[in-house]
A and B are shown apart, each in its own frame.
Chain A
Amino acid sequence: MEKLTKDLKENVQYFKGLFKDCDDILFREIEIGDEHKVKIIVIFVDGMANKEFVSDSAIQSLFWKDDLNHIPVDETYELFFNRIFKEAIASAELKKEDKIETIIDNILSGDTALLVENMDKCIVIGSRDGPSRSIEEPKTETVIRGPRDGFNEIMKFNLALVRRRIKDPKFKVKFKQVGRRSRTTVAVLYIDDIVDKKLLDEVKKRLDNVDIDAVLDSAILENLIEDNYLSPFPQVENTERPDSVAAALYEGRVGLIVDNSPFALIVPATMGTLIQSSEDYYERWSQTTIIRIIRIIAMFLSFTAPALYIAITAYHPGLLPTKLIYFLAASRINVPFPSVVEAILMELTMELLREAGTRVSGPIGSTIGIVGGLIIGQAAVDAGIVSPLMIIIVAVTTISTFAIPSYEMATGFRTVRFTFIALAGVLGLYGVVLGIIVLLSHFIILSSFGIPFTSPFSGLGIEEGDLKDTLVKAPIQRLWLRPGFTNPKNKRRMRGHKK
């Protein structure tokens, strides 16, 4: 069956057969009319639809509307159906529908279907109202100054949070269904007269090409649409903050909000955007500039610090001042392992602690911190298994990974860190540089939706002055152009100083 038939019984039979053993789907049969009775069936999902709303504005109003119940003898079902549609149901979202597939989709999303006797159409009442979390402060991207609202799992709230920041009819929201079984709604967000058409088409094309049975979170969608899924580095940005999404849209990028996920996706993502955090724009430019530079150093340290330690202690002690070298040698004199083993040992311990710490929370979590950080560290040094400098290096490395705003980016660096340790163990400083060559090559080859990942450092957007908002952060008055890497249709943000 593709469309509804005129026979109510057959229709209901079909739905009952389809929803067999789905005990959470309710069928409510009502009859209205004084002398001439008309049968109506109401179908909705318990818990997904707002039951109170369905009772009040759909069922009750049918019963209580007097002239509706006086059905003239000569009235056709068609006229009666239209009367219900126009006069009887007090709902803001209402539509007629005859395609069964759409009706099923709507019912399962929380809408209510109203089937009327002898009609091959039904009324779909928008009654979606599932369980939801209230709007809370984002857990992953906290700010000292700036808005504190974060996304939750309900898409319509998330969209509203973004819409509140862009009151412009040019701000478009396009829905797409992804996932054969999960039928997850994905909203494509963009500002029509800023976004590059090619980018938008590419995003839509990739969404259409997704073929999977379920998309449970935006992370799954992210993996399915990114350019290189084998890379340890993300090519899609994600955020819990509506202000970040709005800012990205104003830059000419495309946002994706996935139902049931508090993380919105932003494409394209580049090296430049992954070192920006939303707080950068709420603080004074001078401070942010320093923080940006610190982040770049942190990025570098997060994968090279232990490798550099190994290279210098094992291969090139001459690089350091003589006094420091003596101190280093003295502190390592009791350590029975070569520095590579020492570094791998400590890095593994650190990863272990981090993993244990993220899985448990609350009082046990702090115990892990104390036992892991303080006791193991101190004991390892006292026992002479590692040198105190190694502990410092490991700590610096770990803290560096936390200083990178994008968690996924930091994870990528964490993963490659072990390769660098091995390279430093085999070839010293030369090995580290070879590793950097390969890593840089990888970054240079990577692209995000056709935009080079290394932008703006590899040329795209340099002329528009993208470095002013990536390497440093210029005052807002100086950022009168939108970033160039997105090829925005509308380049100006404000009247600038130059032409």
Chain B
Amino acid sequence: MNKDPKVSNIQIRGLIVSTVIGVGVLSLPNTLTMTMGNKGWVTIILAGILIIPILYIINYIFKINPGKDFFQIGEETFGKIIFKIILIIMMAYFIDFCAYVVRSLGELVEAFLLPTTPIEVIVLSFILATSYLATHEIDVITRGGYFLYPIILLFAGIVILISIPEADFSNLLPLNNIDYSQIPRGLLDSFVSFAGFEMILFALPYVENGKDSTFKSSVYAMAMITAIYVLTYVVCIAHFSVEQLGRQLFPVLQLVKQVDLPGFFLENLDGLIMALWVLVVASTFIPAYFAAGKVISKIFNLKSHKYIILILIPIIYFLALYPRDILQINKILLKPFNILGLMTGVILPLLFLIVILIKKKVKK
């Protein structure tokens, strides 16, 4: 109907929360205890705070270029060729993002829900189911993000609430002896879990009402994500001790599995939580999938990203299934994901800012 997609300020919040919270929420407590012991919450909060300036930069870029989308601004600031290279890096990032997310989902679904189903079926059916929404424009994607946002809160709420009765918060003590040398590593580990906030690059230019408060909205979303991460981390530490936590790849699910709710209809909540979690992952995967399609369509100067999404189905599928085990997943998918994530999430906005500032100086 109306050609120009429209997004509202409040949907930005939903989009950020639902894109960011996904695979990371399950594994973050484990990766953090490896480096930070029981002080992981420090780096989560630090990472959350450090992302706020980046959010500000992204908002600033769109504020000084009103009415233009990310690709137009990029071309104007960097020139065609350099921007193409940037787009290629972004493409690699989003495809890797998708592959990593869907592979993790496959592993977990195989482990917790469908032990005899081949992982190929799980991965392929998930990509096919999500491609329906990904072929649509950004307004539809943000609507989806906002629609699933309460489900994510529900998911986090259930996990946190059911574990409180058996939690032992003395595991968090002592609070003061922080190993400062480990903080950079911990920060890096935490940052991975915040990947996905770059989605606002695609959504911000289309915000219609409440244009001025998009920064506030994004900070609000980031605060919410940080709170959810810190709470799940605290709950996991309180439930398992640091030593136990270090040995569990997906402690949140383990935690849900261990909690018994005598007297309730559902004795084991892990199935329900897994089902909810698949929805949570879908809300992470769809925006990333969309972004991959969009970036590729811009690289080849195509009008629509519809067919790119279809072409991406086999690419993501094979990339996701290429690693043989968890170790290989970490090496082939997660490591590049970290590097590329830093490049698009941190370095790219900074580059934007620097080039824009230099251009301004030169003009004067």
Contacts and interface: CB of A to CB of B under 8 A. Distances in A.
Interface string A282-318: 0000000000000000000000000000000001101
A227 to B, nearest CB: 7
B140 A444 contact: yes
B136 A445 contact: yes
B129 A440 contact: no
Given A316-B271, A436-B279, A444 B266 contact: no
Interface of B, helix, strand, loop or mixed by DSSP: helix
Contacts of A450: 1-2
Nearest to B278: A433
B2 A444 contact: no
A454 B133 contact: no
A445 to B, nearest CB: 6
Interface string B1-14: 11000001011001
A320 interface: yes
Contacts of B27: none
Contacts of A429: 113, 271, 274-275
A430 interface: yes
B22 interface: no
A232 to B, nearest CB: 15
B49 interface: no
B311 interface: no
Contacts of B143: 444, 452, 454, 458-459
Contacts of B130: 437, 441
Contact of B142 (A227, A320, A459, A463): A459
Interface residues of A, number: 37
Given A428-B114, A433-B279, A450-B2, A438 B132 contact: yes
B126 interface: yes
A318 B267 CA distance: 8
Interface string A412-435: 000000000000000111111110
A318 B271 CA distance: 9
Q: Which residue among B130, B265, B278 has the maximum number of chain A CB atoms within 10 Å of its CB? A: B278
Nearest to A431: B125
Contacts of B271: 316, 318-319, 429
Interface in A425-475: 427-434, 436-438, 440-445, 447, 449-450, 452, 454, 457-460, 462-463
Nearest to B270: A319
Given A430-B109, A437-B130, A320 B114 contact: no
B244 interface: no
Given A433-B279, A447-B1, A458 B132 contact: no
Nearest to A438: B129
**Size category of the binding interface on chain B:** 35 or more
A498 B8 CA distance: 23
B314 to A, nearest CB: 19
Contact of A458 (B11, B122, B266): B11
Interface string A197-241: 000001000000000000000000000000100000000000000
A132 interface: no
Interface in B8-32: 8, 10-11, 14
A434 B130 CA distance: 8
Contact of A444 (B147, B267, B268, B274): B147
A228 to B, nearest CB: 11
B229 interface: no
Contacts of A454: 143, 147
Q: Which residue among A428, A441, A452 has the maximum number of chain B CB atoms within 10 Å of its CB? A: A441
A450 to B, nearest CB: 4
A462 B2 CA distance: 21
B351 interface: no
Given A316-B113, A459-B11, A321 B265 contact: yes
B178 interface: no
Interface in B108-128: 109, 113-114, 117, 121-122, 125-126
**Smallest CB-CB A-B distances: 5 pairs:** A441-B133, A458-B143, A459-B11, A319-B271, A459-B146
Given A436-B279, A449-B1, 6 more contacts: A319-B268, A321-B267, A430-B114, A437-B130, A440-B147, A441-B133
Interface of A: 202, 227, 315-316, 318-322, 427-434, 436-438, 440-445, 447, 449-450, 452, 454, 457-460, 462-463
